[in-house]
Amino acid sequence: MTHSQASRPTYSASNYQVNYRGNHQPIGVFDSGAGGLTVLKELERQLPNEPLLYLGDTARVPYGTRSPEEIVEFARQIITWMVGRNVKMVVMACNTSSALALEKMRQEFDIPILGLIQPAAKLAINQRRRIGVIATPTTARSHAYRDAIKGRSPSTAVWEVGCPEFVPIVEGGRINNPETLDIVRTYVQPLLDQGIDSLVYGCTHYPHLAPVLDQILPGAIARIDPAVSIVRDAKEVLDTLKLHHVAPLQNHRFCVTGDKAQFSLLANQWLNEPPTVDQVSLSATISPTLIYPIPLAI
């Protein structure tokens, strides 16, 4: 069984309740940059009471042209950093990390870690049978989506296209530039030529390109956003482990490893409230301002 075919482990209260100290702690959410904000918004929609600790690894974006080894190492550093801040669960809001690093991280860390690929495959096959996937080159090369979809529904046809130019467009704030339409069309046209009936956003940056895709995709083609399904999964795990946050909502925290300014600009456009963003070093000692309170008794 390949990484992408492996289903979510069964998280049981007896395994985890002892180790994870309680529902006050945030859910850690990470991506290479601002793409994961599409998942964060879905978390806010489905789980409005949960405090979130968001990390955008903007010093190293884009991930999607990097080697599998780098992706694994970056995930390891980020999850180590998040565990140091007492997260109760990690949501990989990054398809590239989910495709390349999820299973390894589940072996290395004793904390629930959720990835995007399997929940998205489950969602996709419920809907259609000719599925196009736009993804980063590293995700497309891994065939994580093809394997996950065909693992569930062998007769479903899947085409994956790596789109190296999309993340720089989104991170660079160039979505509305005139040349973006032609660039996006170049990558999507081969999928249209195959007669796809649905399109998976195989990178969390891509839902930001929806206004451009609206001009290219016929309305009959369903869009599948894995954010919806990973958050359903997160909700189920919180249910099972009885880890839902019950106290009044704490503010989310937003951290980046690179420059704060560009991330803040994008986050201000996409989130309801302009966030305060901290720049952090993943190897630095824990800053007390970033530690969430741990309940004294559980």
Given candidates 51, 56, 64, 115, which one binds ligand DGL under the rule CB under 6 A?
Answer: 64
In sequence order, the β-bridge partners of residue 153 are none
Residue from 91, 94, 158, 230 carrying the catalytic annotation: 94
Determine, following the binding rule CB under 6 A, whether residue 167 of this chain makes contact with ligand DGL: yes
In whole angstroms, how large is the CA radius of gyration of the chain?
18
Determine, following the binding rule CB under 6 A, whether residue 54 of this chain makes contact with ligand DGL: no
- Contact segment (CB under 6 A) with ligand DGL among 15-23, 25-33, 142-150, 262-270 equals 25-33
- Contact segment (CB under 6 A) with ligand DGL among 17-25, 28-36, 237-245, 273-281 equals 28-36
Task: Tell me whether residue 86 or residue 96 sits nearer to ligand DGL (CB atom).
Answer: 96
Tokens at residue 223, please?
Answer: 């869009």
Determine, following the binding rule CB under 6 A, whether residue 94 of this chain makes contact with ligand DGL: yes
Q: Is 163 a residue of the active site?
A: no
Determine, following the binding rule CB under 6 A, whether residue 63 of this chain makes contact with ligand DGL: yes
Determine, following the binding rule CB under 6 A, whether residue 61 of this chain makes contact with ligand DGL: yes
- Contact segment (CB under 6 A) with ligand DGL among 9-17, 27-35, 245-253, 289-297 equals 27-35
3-state secondary structure the chain: CCHHHCCCCCCCHHHHCCCCCCCCCCEEEEECCCCCHHHHHHHHHHCCCCCEEEEECCCCCCCCCCCHHHHHHHHHHHHHHHHCCCCCEEEECCHHHHHHHHHHHHHHCCCCEECCHHHHHHHHHHHCCEEEEEECHHHHHHCHHHHHHHHHCCCCEEEEEECCCHHHHHHCCCCCCHHHHHHHHHHHHHHHHCCCCEEEEECCCHHHHHHHHCCCCCCCCEEECHHHHHHHHHHHHHHHHCCCCCCCCCCCEEEECCCHHHHHHHHHHHCCCCCCEEECCCCCCCCHHHCCCCCCCC
Measured CA to CA, the distance from residue 278 to residue 72 in angstroms comes to 24
Given candidates 78, 111, 203, 282, which one binds ligand DGL under the rule CB under 6 A?
Answer: 203
Determine, following the binding rule CB under 6 A, whether residue 40 of this chain makes contact with ligand DGL: no
Task: Tell me whether residue 89 or residue 94 sits nearer to ligand DGL (CB atom).
Answer: 94
Find the shortest distance in angstroms from Cβ 92 to ligand DGL. 9
Residue from 40, 203, 266, 280 carrying the catalytic annotation: 203
Find the shortest distance in angstroms from Cβ 75 to ligand DGL. 12
Determine, following the binding rule CB under 6 A, whether residue 29 of this chain makes contact with ligand DGL: no
Residues 276-295 that bind ligand DGL (CB under 6 A): none
Tokens at residue 78, please?
Answer: 């980020």
Q: Is 255 a residue of the active site?
A: no
Find the shortest distance in angstroms from Cβ 66 to ligand DGL. 8
Given candidates 4, 136, 198, 229, which one binds ligand DGL under the rule CB under 6 A?
Answer: 136
| CB neighbourhood size of 283 (10 A) | 8
Determine, following the binding rule CB under 6 A, whether residue 257 of this chain makes contact with ligand DGL: no
Binding site for ligand DGL (CB under 6 A): 31-33, 35, 61-64, 94-96, 136, 139, 167, 203-205
Catalytic residues: 94, 203
